Amino acid sequence: MEKIKILLIEDNPYDLALIEEMLAEREDTRFSVKQVGRLAQGIKVLAAEQFHVVLLDLGLPDSQGLATLARIQEKNVDTPVILLTGLDDEGMGLEAVEKGAQDYLIKGQFNASLLTRSIRYSIQRKRAEETIRKAKELSEAINQINELVDLSLDFQVIMERILEKAGHAIKADSAVIYQLENERWKIISSWGLPRIVIGEIYDPEEMAFSRFQLDGQQNILVTEQTNRRFINDYHIRSLIEAPLTSGDSIIGAVSLHYHSPGSWFSDSQYDFAHKVAKTLSMTLKNYLLYEERQKSEERYRYLFQNANDPIFIIDRELKFINVNRRAMDLFGYGLDEFVAMNMVDLVPEEQIPRIQGELKKRESMEALDKLSTNIRTKWGYSLDVEISSSPFVERNNVMGSIHIVRDVTESKRMEDEIRYQATHDILTGLANRMLFMDHLALSISQGHRYNEIQAVMFLDLDRFKSINDSLGHAAGDKILQLISGRLKECVRETDTVARIGGDEYNILITQMAHPEDATAIANKILSSMNKPFAIEGHQLHITISIGISFIPRTERMRRRCSRMRTSPSIMPRNREETTTSFTILP
């Protein structure tokens, strides 16, 4: 049977007896009435005991009228108050209800049914008001907690302020925040507990709630079933724990505690803890993302600054935004000097249009091939480079492009040297047979296309073997080098002089206006050979035999050849209609 405790503040014994008689008539409820005759006594009793309702007479020896209600409200806000008024005080009763009384009864005009109904109504109404008041307070606390999430503040400061605000809102004694890190629970923030608690780590088996399945609202409510070591160490009597989540993953937990015996959290406080957990989840998730971004940026800065190759970051106007240390070391410019320049300031003038176009393409990934160019150093010389590029994107906007610049000067030099050695005679530096044949094939193709006259000269040194035998191979090599130099002086830069092997040379003469031009060159060569060669104190006279083949062969060409001061040579075996040959003898 329900029992309702009533405090009656009434100095009239007759009214006390009447009220007790009315309440005794109710068989469905037990009423316990405690009576005092003075307001001061009533306030003192309320401070010491808990009652369901107060019946308050407005005409007491130590207090009169609405001031009586005001005085008791100052000392007590939780217990509903029903006023007992006289017949002439009904207006005062209505005003008292407006000021916070739950109800009023006019003496002499209420019976047992009306009295008990008023008591039940007042208790229920007060409970509803308290529920609404507390819900409003908790809602305001949540709003204030959300306002605390200021990313300009230190993460620890934000966490501590949220815990303090949440703890005060539900009158908790302490609170902590756990972070789940490497499958272990670490306290990262606390309120109401010694600072030494921060940093404590608990294994999964010590955190029983971490093994619970989340319900539909992502909530967990536990009392004394979790983290026994923590509960014992800090004398926790009751607690609420709610997980901090990121998507479907648990990343931490918030725990609020009572230390007093007999204290338990209500459903509204549990709902409040869940809302706090949502705010903390967002804050912790953002912090973890920020930390990861910071680590990523640190890794990027480390890789950027310590990369083996120069790295350029340029904007959409091709101005430098940043460069790494390797770029400054290799090209000699300081960061301020780079930032004051445009990318095209460092490339050859003739390459600027191509470089501008290629770099703009790289902002939209239109060009992924490596870009080859030269970059001028601060010291005046240029380096051969290959550039690999990608767009520079911030917040989904293309801000420019990033370029990894590889110095290929040495490798290009080696490639050029290898290519040179593959196509040139090592001793004389002239083209070798392979390069000569390439030039010849290209020349024949162009000659047919543009109807040009071309000639091939075949040169052979006379009695060269006797020089090697008498003076040695070193002298012979020197003769070959000197002869090669004179041959190059007798032809144009567009012509090709090649050493085919031993003491044999070929010369390709292109773009001739007349066949006689080849004869003139041959005579020039013969004249240059008339000058003696000085070798190891010896003056050597060298003679040379020259044969000439023309491309193309025509009847007109044949007639011209017959008028030259030459003697016909043996024609090639294939007798192609495109060639005419003759020999010039010294």
Sorted by sequence, the CB contacts under 8 Å of residue 73 that are 6+ apart come out as: 81, 99, 100
Residue 301 maps to a domain: no
The fraction of the chain above a pLDDT of 90, given in percent, is 22
- Top pLDDT among 91 and 256 is at 256
> Among residues 257, 292, 327, which one ends one of the domains?
292
pLDDT at 445 over 90: no
The predicted-structure confidence for 452-501, as pLDDT tens digits, reads as follows 888 999 999 888 888 888 888 888 899 899 999 999 999 998 899 999 98
Same domain assignment for residues 458 and 519: yes
CB-based contact 366:401 (threshold 8 Å): no
Same domain assignment for residues 359 and 499: no
Same domain assignment for residues 496 and 565: yes
Same domain assignment for residues 131 and 189: no
Same domain assignment for residues 177 and 116: no
Q: Up-side HSE of residue 451: CA atoms within 13 Å toward CB?
A: 1
pLDDT at 151 over 80: no
Same domain assignment for residues 475 and 559: yes
Residue 102 maps to a domain: yes
Residue 303 maps to a domain: no
pLDDT band at 365 (very low <50, low <70, confident <90, very high): low
DSSP, residue by residue, 502-570:
TTEEEEEEEEESSTHHHHHHHHHHHHHHTS-EEETTEEE---EEEEEEEES--HHHHHHHHHSS-BPPP
Locate tokens 């032809």: which residue? 491
Q: How far apart are CA 569 and CA 549, in angstroms?
A: 9
Same domain assignment for residues 408 and 431: no
Among residues 36, 46, 34, 33, the alpha carbon closest in space to that of 11 is found at 36
pLDDT band at 339 (very low <50, low <70, confident <90, very high): very high
pTM of the model: 0.51
Q: Any idea which of 171-185, 217-231, 294-308, 495-509 has the lowest mean pLDDT? A: 217-231
CATH number at residue 554: 3.30.70.270
Q: Computed from CA positions of residues 515, 518, 522, 524, in that sequence, does the dihedral angle turn out positive or negative? A: positive
Residue 430 maps to a domain: yes
Same domain assignment for residues 577 and 430: yes
Residue 365 maps to a domain: yes
> Among residues 135, 164, 182, which one ends one of the domains?
135
The predicted-structure confidence for 127-141, as pLDDT tens digits, reads as follows 777 777 777 877 787
pLDDT at 430 over 90: yes
Work out the widest C-alpha separation in the chain, in whole angstroms: 164
Same domain assignment for residues 433 and 561: yes
Same domain assignment for residues 60 and 12: yes
DSSP, residue by residue, 323-343:
E-HHHHHHH---HHHHHTSBG
Q: Domain range spanning residue 449?
A: 424-584
pLDDT at 229 over 60: yes
Number of domains in the chain: 4
- Burial (CB count <10 Å: 0-12, 13-18, 19+), residue 508: buried
Q: How far apart are CA 110 and CA 566, in angstroms?
A: 154
pLDDT at 562 over 80: no
504-512 β-sheet, strand order: 496-501, 504-512, 453-461, 544-551, 580-584
The predicted-structure confidence for 54-63, as pLDDT tens digits, reads as follows 998 888 888 8
Q: Up-side HSE of residue 412: CA atoms within 13 Å toward CB?
A: 12
> Among residues 365, 391, 412, which one ends one of the domains?
412
Locate tokens 């990608």: which residue? 390
Same domain assignment for residues 102 and 153: no
Residue 298 maps to a domain: no
CATH number at residue 70: 3.40.50.2300
Residue 297 maps to a domain: no
CATH number at residue 219: 3.30.450.40
Residue 141 maps to a domain: no
Same domain assignment for residues 363 and 392: yes
Average pLDDT over residues 29-36: 86
